[in-house]
Amino acid sequence: MRQNQLAKDLVWGVAISAAQTESGSSADPKGKSIWDEFCSKNTAWFGHQSPIKNNDHIAESADFFTHYEADIDLIKKLGFTEFRFSIAWARVMPDGKQIDPEGIAFYQKVVAYCLSKQITPWITLYHWDLPAALQTYGGWSNRQIIADFLNYVKYVVSALPEVKHWIILNEPSVFLGAGYLLGIHAPGVKNFRKMLAGTHHAMLCIAEAFKAIKHIQPDSQVGSSFSFTHIESYSHHPKDIKAAKLADCLINRLFIEPLLGLSYPFEDYKALKAIKPFIQPGDLENLATPLDFIGIQTYTREVFKHNPFNFILPIKHIPAHERSLDLSATNWEMYPESLYQCIMKVHAYGLGAALYITENGVAFKDEPIFERVHDYPRIHYYKMHINEVLRAKQNGANVKGYFAWSLLDNFEWAEGYEPRFGLVYVDFKTKQRLLKDSAYWFQKWLKSLRPMLDSN
């Protein structure tokens, strides 16, 4: 009963992203994104091998573009009241600059249908699918991105006045770290300086977009979502503890603290001074942003130890498969307490902002058996992680809501279509939908909260 008492104070939703679920690339004049181009690269000396497992392509996903009404009907059927989805920048502006009225018309229809079903839309303005045309000047590594992003944001927000919840950027640490440093995500760049430049420009985009949205819609709730990873040291040895703190600096703190007015954590990692050439006068002061909410997205924990053989970055990551048997289809450790630890870490900053879990979920290699998907491990995952959210709320964290990732099986970036995160199974050939047992579990649990929610 105590758990339900805490849960009734939260909003409950599901999330998707445009790039991972929309498809529809040949159905309209949508421009290409960096992911369309990344999926089409050939990395093999002989034959064809793209950077995506099984040569999967982003255009073959769940086709939310033509199934959006039926998918929103499923959200309603399951009892969720909030729906987080993103705008494909290249759909509303094929070249990243010039407007295509048909593109925004699609999202206007999605918003209208949500509202007709009493579903609250939460829109993410950028979920990794940069228009390919903007990558020609360097994308996030070029300061020009700030002006182009603001132009896009002002247009979208003005065109969707009914939307009152905006998420500016989704997980900048991931799209910059994987896309501009490691090169395993689009656009496939491997350059430390470009990653740092992109980090500063992304932080400025959040700060400037917040002001712009508030100017257009003063009564809206505006935040941004961040990937937070719970990090532990391999041992209690001081050098391992120091290595874990350094990893936390680069993975977590670098992408949130500038927006809190704390600047970049230069003192904790001297190499970060390479970002200074990209900082113009007044930038650090402008970064401090009173976001209405912080989106927390946590999936796992990572463990680090000291690496005496790397003098530039003396840390060594211990992969999950070397220390845990409890792994998902993405080889991430399933460690529920990681979500509690990340919530409390953000809470410790003493912000006035609300906290929302804007993504949390798990992937398995689901297969239907006689028209059912018995994903009991996913049900267990959600039960345990929701318990940690409620524990954080009970301990004083200003948690206001939870979004399950994801409504639909989707394109899981470099992993392709094999790992399935959805509450709804998608046959990617026929686009048929099938509710998994985890969806039915949510339906039953949310229904149990209904009397309490209706009484408030």
Three-class DSSP category at 318: strand
Q: How confident is the model at residue 25 (pLDDT cuts 50, 70, 90)?
A: low
Q: How confident is the model at residue 58 (pLDDT cuts 50, 70, 90)?
A: very high
Tokens of 189: 């760049």
The structural domain count of the chain equals 1
Cα 97 to Cα 21, 131, 207: the distances in Å are 23, 9, 20
Q: Which of 22, 232, 359, 388 is catalytic?
A: 359
Q: Which domain holds residue 362?
A: 2-454
Mean pLDDT, residues 372-377 taken together: 98
Residue 335 has pLDDT above 50, yes or no: yes
Nearest to residue 358, comparing CAs of 170, 213, 78, 222?
170
Q: How confident is the model at residue 1 (pLDDT cuts 50, 70, 90)?
A: very low
Q: Which of 22, 171, 232, 388 is catalytic?
A: 171
pLDDT tens, 147-201?
999 999 999 999 999 999 999 999 999 999 999 999 999 999 999 999 999 999 9
Q: Which amino acid is at 369?
A: I
**Beta strand ranges found along 144-297 (DSSP E):** 165-170, 221-227, 230-233, 293-297
Residue 88 has pLDDT above 90, yes or no: yes
- DSSP letter string over 90-119? HHHSTTSSS--HHHHHHHHHHHHHHHHTT-
Contacts of 365 (CB under 8 A, 6+ apart): 329, 418, 419, 420
Question: Within 13 Å and on the Cβ side, how many CA atoms surround 77?
Answer: 13
Q: Is 359 a catalytic residue?
A: yes
Check: CB of residue 165 under 8 Å from CB of residue 121: yes
Rounded Cα distance, 300 and 393, in Å: 19
**Nearest 5°: CA angle at 335, between 329 and 337?**
150
Nearest to residue 223, comparing CAs of 234, 236, 214, 235?
214
CATH number of the domain encompassing residue 212: 3.20.20.80
Instruction: Using the CB atoms, write b or e for 244-276: b if 16+ within 10 Å.
Output: bbbbbbbbbbbbbbbbbeeebbeeebeebeebe
Q: Is 171 a catalytic residue?
A: yes
Rounded Cα distance, 228 and 417, in Å: 24
Rounded Cα distance, 193 and 175, in Å: 15
Residue count (the chain): 456
- DSSP letter string over 364-413? B----BTTB---HHHHHHHHHHHHHHHHHHHTT--EEEEEEE-SB----G
Rounded Cα distance, 187 and 319, in Å: 25
